[in-house]
Each structure stands twice: as structure tokens, then as C-alpha cells.
Structure 1
Amino acid sequence: MAREKRYAFSVPTCLVIALLCLASIATRWLAVAHVVDTEREQAIESAMQADANLAIAFEQDLIRTLKAAEQVAAFAREGYLLHGKAPDIRGWIKDHTIRERMFTILSVVDAQGRIIVSTEDTPPGVNYSDRNFFMAQQHATEDKLYVSRAVFGRVSHQWRIPMSLRITLDGGGFGGVVVIAIDPAYLTHFYQHTAKASQTDTLVQVLGADGYTRGSQIGGTMDFDHDARAQPWFVRAKTHPVGQFVTDLPDRIPRIISYRTLDQYPLMVVLGTPLDQAVAGASKRHNRYWIAAGLTTLALLAVAGLLTIILARQRASTLALLASEARLTHATRHDALTGLPNRVLFQERCQRALATAQRHRHLIAILYLDLDSFKSVNDEYGHAAGDELLQQAAQRLLQKVRASSQDTVARFGGDEFAILLDDLHARADTERIIRNILTALSEPFTIKGTKTKVQLSASIGAVEYPQHGNTLDMLMGHADAAMYAAKKAGKNQFMWWSPTT
């Protein structure tokens, strides 16, 4: 008997469990992905709103700085025009008339570019007529503060941002400029007082309408006079004075960019918050979400695997029980030695064949067969040899019935066999099959493992429905009687039943 299988996996069941498991896992991961995307978008939106407010404050602070510079320059200009001589600007700083420390470098320059007076000691021969802040005011038609690009100071010997105001004489002629030079770092000093000052990679920038930076910081690194004409915020500002977007320029670090163009001055302010810092809080939560999703996935896979194993084990038990029942059923309806149907199954098939024959009015035949002289062979060669001869005889009988029909070969026990021939057209068909059987059984049998030849024969009794009876008991009784008549008549032959048998 084959060893019972511990597990019997059902492909459809395994597929259903796998699909349900995968669907659950996919649903979990899609839900987490949706939450992550939603929270990320919300974090970015919140950071953009915060940066937009900070950009407004930055803009207002810069405007205040520029207006203060403009007021100082206008004060110096009015003093010069009112008295016709250089004002005491050093005295103004000394007695704190000018209080802003960033405006301590202040000069009055005449129409030829010569310094009339300055808060700094001026070397002889210094001339500003070639400076942009001077030339821009020579032909200016409006009285506005001009914020120049950074220059290396000829007096301070440091990099400074010059801011100039035109001196216009009574007749409208050009009378020179008042220039204030400040450290580029002052333009972004507002950033130092914000919560973002401690964040690395944060971009703070003041950019001129000419596309060059007046002051710029990334983290704590200061820069100025950088060509920013290709930067996306400068390009966008031409059509959208105020805006926000995400970019990885200029240093391949993704940032949320918030920019604003000043209305009163040809400048713009730019704030860039690193995207990873903006979503840092959300990212920490997202990591927990992904870990939870991973653990859930492992749990689902474990449950699916365990369920598959449990069902496979139950199915194996069920199949083993069914197989055992099938074996028992087969054993009760089949001969253990030859595997042929036994008397019970043979009678069931005969009953069905009789019912069909009655409906369709066709012939059936039942043959009752007994092997001649089998007992003497069995006694001479032993029961094992006898069993082998019975198996060989069963195979020869199976070969002689019609393979495409409902014919049945059965063993009743000992050396007795019965054959049902179904759906016959004439008695000649039955007799042809009987002769083939007699011929096949009369051929010598060889005992396995030896060269011994054994000669057997058979006596066969035959009956037909409906000529010889209309019930199974009647037909079987008549076939048995005909078989004994054939045996008495000399064996190795067949006889049809007749009332005189």
C-alpha cells in the first residue's frame, strides 16, 4: 500500500488564497502609498504657505532697508544743495544722526565723478565717473535709488553694493550723486533672524532686474554678483512677478522656491527651502507607515502560508479517506485476485443491461464458464501457480470480448467466470465470441519463472435474453445448468440452454 501523503495541495485553492493574499497586500500598500502621497503633498503645501509668508516679510524688510538708505542719501543731498557745500556727513555719523551701521560708508560725488566728501578717508585722484552707479544716474529721468552690482571699493578696498541717488541742479542739470556702499551680507541679514537660519542648504537671495545677484546665501555660505539669468525663478518673474514651485537648481538639491518682485525697486527676493527638510516630519511618519505595511505583508504571507498548509493537510486527509473508501468499495465489487468485477457488480451490470434491452428490444447473452481440470493443476503445481493461471485466464477473456461494447467479464470464485455480452444483433455474434474464448483458453499456459506448460480448457453455458428467460435469476440459473451440461458432454465446448438440458 502506498504511503499516505501528508499534504495535498489544490492548485485552485492555492491560487485563490494567493490572489486574496496579494489583493490584501496590494490594498495595504496602495493605501499606505495614498496616505504617504497625501501627507507629503500637505507638507509641501504647508511649507509653501510658510515660505510665501516668509518671502513677504523678507520683501518688506528689504524695502525698509532700501527706503532707509534712500532717506539717508536724500538727507545728504538736501544738505549739499541747500548750503552749496559738502555736508558734514562724518559729524552726522559721530552724533548718531545716521544711526544705521550699514550706511556708514557715504560719499557725495560731483558731476565729474570726483569725491566731494566721504565718511572714509579718500585717496587723491579717486574718480567714480566710470562706475555703473554713477553713469546710471547721469541720464536718469526719475529720482530713484539705483542699486548697483557689487564692486570692489576704491576707498574701502572691500566688496560693496553701491546705492546711488541723483543730484539734480536747479536748472535740471546733472550735479553728481550721493552714494551709499553697503556690505552684500546686509541685504540678506533678515534671514539670520528666522527659524530657517539653522537649516542647511536653505537658499536666500536678492536678485537684480539685470539678472545678477546682489546678495545670496545657501546655508551659511555668502555669495554675490552671480549670474542668475538662467535660473528658473528669474525667467518666471518676467511673466509672473510672484510665484512658487519646486526645482533642483542651482545645485541639484530639490527646493521649494518662493520669489517676489519688488514694486518700487528693480529687485526680487528669493527663498528656497530644501524639499527633504520641508517634508522631514512627514517622512519620519512615512517610514513608520512603510515598516507597518512590511510587517503586515509578512503577517499576511504567514497566514496565507499557514492556511494553505492546513487546507492541504485537510485535503490530504480527505483524499486518503476517499481513497480508502474507494478501495473498500472496489474490494466489495471486484475480485481481489484478478481485478475483475465480482458477482455483486456483475449482477448490477446485468440488471442495467436487461432494463436497456427491454426498452430497446435488443439481445443480450450471459455466459457461465468453468475451467476444465483446474483443480488437478492447482493440486500439482500449488496454489500460487493456480492463482497465476487464473490471472492469465482472466486476461485472455478480456481480450476476446468486444472492447468498444459494454461487455463485462467477472469472476465468481474458484475457476468460475461469467461474461455479459450486451447489445447483440444475432446469435451468431455470441457464438463467434464463444469460439474465440474456447480457442484462447485451450492454448498452453506458462507458469511464471518456469518452462512448464499447462494445458487447460473451458466448459461454457450460454443463454440469451429474452429467449431463455426474462429475469436475471432465471437467466443465471439456466446458464449454470447449460455449463454443467457442456462439461458432462465432454468439456472444452459450449452449450445453449434448452428445457431438456
Structure 2
Amino acid sequence: MSTEPRYVCTKRLCLTSASLCLIVLTFIWAVIQHRISIERTQEVDAALRANSNLTIAFEQNISRTLKAAEQVAAFVREGYLLQGTAPDLHRWVRDSVIREGMFTIISVVDEHGQIIASSQDIPTTVNYADRDFFLAQRDNTLDTLFISRPVLGRVSGAWRIPLSLRISRPDGSFGGVVVIAIDPTNLTSFYRQTNLGAHGLLEVTGLDGYTRGRKIGDQISFNQDARALPWFTRRSTAPTGNFVDQGEIDGISRVISYRTLHGYPLMAVVGTAYDEAVAATQHRRTVYLFAASLLSALILSLTIGLTLAMARQRAITQALQASKIQLAHAARHDPLTGLPNRVLFQERCLRSLESARRHRTLAAILYLDLDGFKEVNDRYGHATGDALLQQAAQRLTQQVRASSEDTVARFGGDEFAIMLDGLLTQKDGEQIILNILTALSQPFTLDGAEARISASIGAVLYPLHGTDLNTLIGQADTAMYAAKNAGKNQFAWGTAAEPNNYKAEMAAS
């Protein structure tokens, strides 16, 4: 019977294990919740930025429409004042003197509200003296465009937004108005150029608090009271803004961006449904929670297993720990050279690319193939070939920067890969590549025999040649073959760059 001492699961040991397990689980769930919160905030911020840009474009679209209307009205007014008689607007439209198709009706109304000219046939009995667009211009001493609330046309029977410009006689007295009618749906036609989702909001609201046009999904409305809506109340203190509302219109919370138009008493509003904006985050949240649950179950199982394992012999525990370390190292390192393998190299590349993105630096990936290695291997045998690979690995390691996060890896055979981290210029990377070519072109001493090889290197720069790791490695591989086909012992930058002749470069230096 063995007399080796064994650990027993004492009360103190069990409590310690349980406490550590609880701390780890609390940490994991706190990190998961924090990550979910951060990603949700990032998604909302991205939606706010996107909507803010859309609102600027929307504002410009509305302004162009209004400026076109103002120009047409001013043109008609000028023709009327110069001729002294009502212009033939029918002929002007027919002859394309007026080409704006969005303006459904263009009319000249005298100081009594009577229509004296129109682009359409309108009964002489129609009088506009009681319309807001007429009354506002009658008392308007400034030459500004009045944008009326939508009204039901007395002739067309359709809802239209009248836009009017005052006609002033030479003595300054009121001489009537030029009025242009536009379809309210034209103001929200910008929606067709955007992707705001199924519950997206596009709205044009007058500073009087009433909408000139609103589109939610496929539903169009206008002349709605918007005075109590949060973007309208905010506008009094902030002409532009971005925020998340609580669904005051229809119960759907939205990411809102609004702007007050320059030169016109209107505001443009763009909104996307909050749930649609964070849909990707919600999907990841489900994945995170599922993963955290599995991880928690795994940790609980491991805690129980570890607690039982700690009751075993110290030698067995130490042997298991040593075995784990060795297995972890073997899974990520090349057994011949001790260099990182493809798995570890990709992990480090991802970290380097992320660091380069955050710090706005460059990172280079080199794909290297030894020229002449097969001949050495065939001539002297595999053992000598392995020794050559080990020496080549040492030389490559000596050429990268010890003070950086540069990584040298072996992918297999005579193929190596190098990550150059935190480069400031492309020239910095080229100098390291030239040093590598020089180092590998020096003779190798193998069991008393001298062997010479060289290298063909394909190189890419992040982000100049791409941002995806697999794409970068693939381009570097392609560039390596370009360098090999161009004569070997040289390197090529990416698929869009011409191979750089190393021999010529060395001769010039």
C-alpha cells in the first residue's frame, strides 16, 4: 500500500475553491454585461452619426426644392412686373420655360385674391384671399418665401403645400402673390434614396409646429401637430441635435437626428428604430449570454474537478500542470524551430492589426519561401535540411526588432511568415526585409559543409493592402510567388506593387 501523503478536501479548501469560483463567475458575467453595454452604445453612436449625415443630406434636398420654387416664383413675378399683364403660364410650361415638374400648379394671384394667370385651368370663381399663403404675404414687408401648411386644393381636391412670394408694386404696395403648389410627398421622396428600416422616420416640420410631410415606413402623413414632440421642443435651445426618443409618435423608440434649415422656417428630422439600430448587438448579446452560460457551467464543473484533484498527490497535480503547459506550448509552436506556428502567428497578427488600427500605424506581413532549400535537402539529407531550417529561423529572429511585438513563425516546410508591428513608414518595413534577404544569403555551415540559399518574400502593409487578416496573408503569398517568378532573392509588395529587385538594390547601395 502506498504511503505517499494525499490531500483531503478540507472545509477550508472547499470554501476557498467555492469563493474563487464565485469570483470568477461574477467577473465573467460583469465583463459580458459590460461588453454588451459597450457594443450597444457603439451601435447607437454609429446610428446617430449615420442619421446626422442623412439629416444633412435631407436638409440640402429640401433646400434645393425650396430654392427651385423660389427661383421659379421670382421668374414668374419678374415676367409679370415687366409685361404689366398676366403671363401665359400655360405656354411657359408647354415651351419648357418653366421645367420644374414637381410644381403641380403655378399661379399669379392679384391683390384681391383673384387668380389672373395659372399653369392649369382654374375657374375664375376661385378666390385665395382667405388663404394663409395670401394673408402672410399681404402683411410681409420682406421678400421671403412663405411655406404654408398643407391645404386641400379648391380645384384639384388634393392636398398641396402652397409656396408664395409677394408681388410688390413700384410704390411698395401689395400687388398680389405668385403661388406654387407642391405635393407633400415630394418632401419625403428622399426616403427612397435611404435605408432607414421598416420603422424609419423622415419628417419635415415647420417652425409653427405642424408637419409639412412625415413618412414612417411606407405610411405618409402631413399637417400633424408636432409641438409636443421632443425634437421640436429641443429645437428652441439647440437648432441641431441627436438623441434617442422614447417612441412619442407611435410607441417605437427611435434614434433621432434633426436640423433647422438655414434660411427657411423648417426643420428636417431623420430617425431609425432603436431596436433595428441595435439588432446586431442584440444578436451578439444572445450569443454572449449563451456562451457565458456554457462557460459558467464549465467553470463549475472544473471547480468541482479541481477541488477533487487537489485532494490527490502533489506529484500528480504538478505533473498535470506541467503537461498542460507543454501541450499549450506545442499547440502553438513549431516543434523543429520552436517558432510560433500558424495558429499563434494569426493570433498575434490580429492583435497587431488591432493595435495598428487604434494607433494609426502600419503593420507588415511577410510571406517567405527559401530559395534552394530543396536542393540542400536532397543533397545532404533531411537531418541537414532540418539543421538549415533551424539556423534560418535563428537568423530571421535576429533580424526583427527585439523592442517590438514583431513575430517570426514557421508555416511548414521551408515557408516562414513574419509580422512587423507598429511601423511608421513603408520604408521601415523595406529596410527590415532587405536585412532579412542579406542575412539569408550568407553561407550556412552544416556539418562541415557550406550551403547557400536565398529567399523570396511577399510583403503587404496594413491598411494599404487590406484590413482582413486572411486577405493580407493571401496577398503576401501571391506577392511571394511574384518575387520568386521575377528571379528570387527579392521581395514584392502586395498584388498591386511591382517586385523590388533585391540584387539591384544591394548593388546600388
Short-chain TM bin:
0.5 to 0.7
Counterparts of 1:98 and 1:82, CA distance in 2: 17
Post-superposition offset of 1:310:
5.7
Q: 1:220 aligns with which of 214, 218, 221?
A: 218
Alpha-carbon deviations, 1:65-107, whole Å to 9, x = none? 0000001111111111111111111112212222221113111
Q: Is the 8 A contact 2:104 2:183 kept in 1?
A: no
Counterparts of 1:252 and 1:16, CA distance in 2: 50
Post-superposition offset of 1:258:
0.4
Query: Is 1:287 paired with 2:321?
Result: no
Aligned to 1:246: 244
Counterparts of 2:25 and 2:148, CA distance in 1: 62
Q: Is the 8 A contact 2:168 2:174 kept in 1?
A: yes
| CA root-mean-square deviation | 1.9
Query: Is 1:129 paired with 2:140?
Result: no
Counterparts of 2:39 and 2:156, CA distance in 1: 52
| SS, match of residue 101 in structure 1 | coil
Counterparts of 1:256 and 1:63, CA distance in 2: 23
Give the counterpart letter for 2:198 in structure 1.
T
Q: TM-score, normalised by structure 1?
A: 0.59
Post-superposition offset of 1:311:
6.2
Give the counterpart letter for 1:281 in structure 2.
A
Alpha-carbon deviations, 1:312-350, whole Å to 9, x = none? 899xxxxxxxxxxxxxxxxxxxxxxxxxxxxxxxxxxxx
Counterparts of 1:234 and 1:113, CA distance in 2: 33
Larger Rg: 1
| SS, match of residue 44 in structure 1 | helix
Counterparts of 2:306 and 2:32, CA distance in 1: 26
Counterparts of 2:304 and 2:46, CA distance in 1: 44
Q: Is the 8 A contact 2:198 2:217 kept in 1?
A: yes
Q: Is the 8 A contact 1:112 1:176 kept in 2?
A: yes
Post-superposition offset of 1:280:
2.1
Give the counterpart letter for 2:264 in structure 1.
Y
Aligned to 1:374: none
Moved more, 228-237 or 187-196: 187-196
Counterparts of 1:107 and 1:187, CA distance in 2: 20
Moved more, 287-296 or 254-263: 287-296
| SS, match of residue 15 in structure 1 | helix
Query: Is 1:61 paired with 2:61?
Result: yes
Aligned to 1:495: none
Equivalent runs, 1:300-319 vs 2, <5 Å: 300-308=299-307
**How many residues of Structure 1 are paired with residues of Structure 2 in the alignment?**
306
Post-superposition offset of 1:207:
0.4
Identity %: 53
Counterparts of 2:167 and 2:240, CA distance in 1: 33
Q: Is the 8 A contact 1:159 1:183 kept in 2?
A: yes
| SS, match of residue 87 in structure 2 | coil
Q: Is the 8 A contact 2:200 2:271 kept in 1?
A: yes
Post-superposition offset of 1:308:
4.4
Counterparts of 1:18 and 1:160, CA distance in 2: 73
Aligned to 1:151: 151
| SS, match of residue 102 in structure 2 | helix
Aligned to 1:296: 295
| SS, match of residue 85 in structure 2 | coil
Post-superposition offset of 1:15:
2.4
Counterparts of 2:114 and 2:62, CA distance in 1: 30
Aligned to 1:366: none
Query: Is 1:174 paired with 2:180?
Result: no
Counterparts of 1:85 and 1:282, CA distance in 2: 65
| SS, match of residue 37 in structure 1 | helix
Post-superposition offset of 1:49:
1.1
Q: TM-score, normalised by structure 2?
A: 0.58
Counterparts of 2:15 and 2:284, CA distance in 1: 35
Aligned to 1:104: 104
Aligned to 2:265: 266
Post-superposition offset of 1:306:
3.4
Alpha-carbon deviations, 1:455-490, whole Å to 9, x = none? xxxxxxxxxxxxxxxxxxxxxxxxxxxxxxxxxxxx
Post-superposition offset of 1:32:
1.4
Post-superposition offset of 1:291:
1.7
Q: Is the 8 A contact 1:187 1:206 kept in 2?
A: yes
Counterparts of 2:271 and 2:37, CA distance in 1: 22
Post-superposition offset of 1:116:
0.7
Give the counterpart letter for 1:92 in structure 2.
W
**Residue segments in structure 1 that go unaligned for 5+ positions in a row:** 1-7, 315-501
Q: Is the 8 A contact 1:163 1:181 kept in 2?
A: yes
Q: Is the 8 A contact 2:206 2:267 kept in 1?
A: yes
Q: Is the 8 A contact 1:255 1:272 kept in 2?
A: yes
Post-superposition offset of 1:44:
1.4
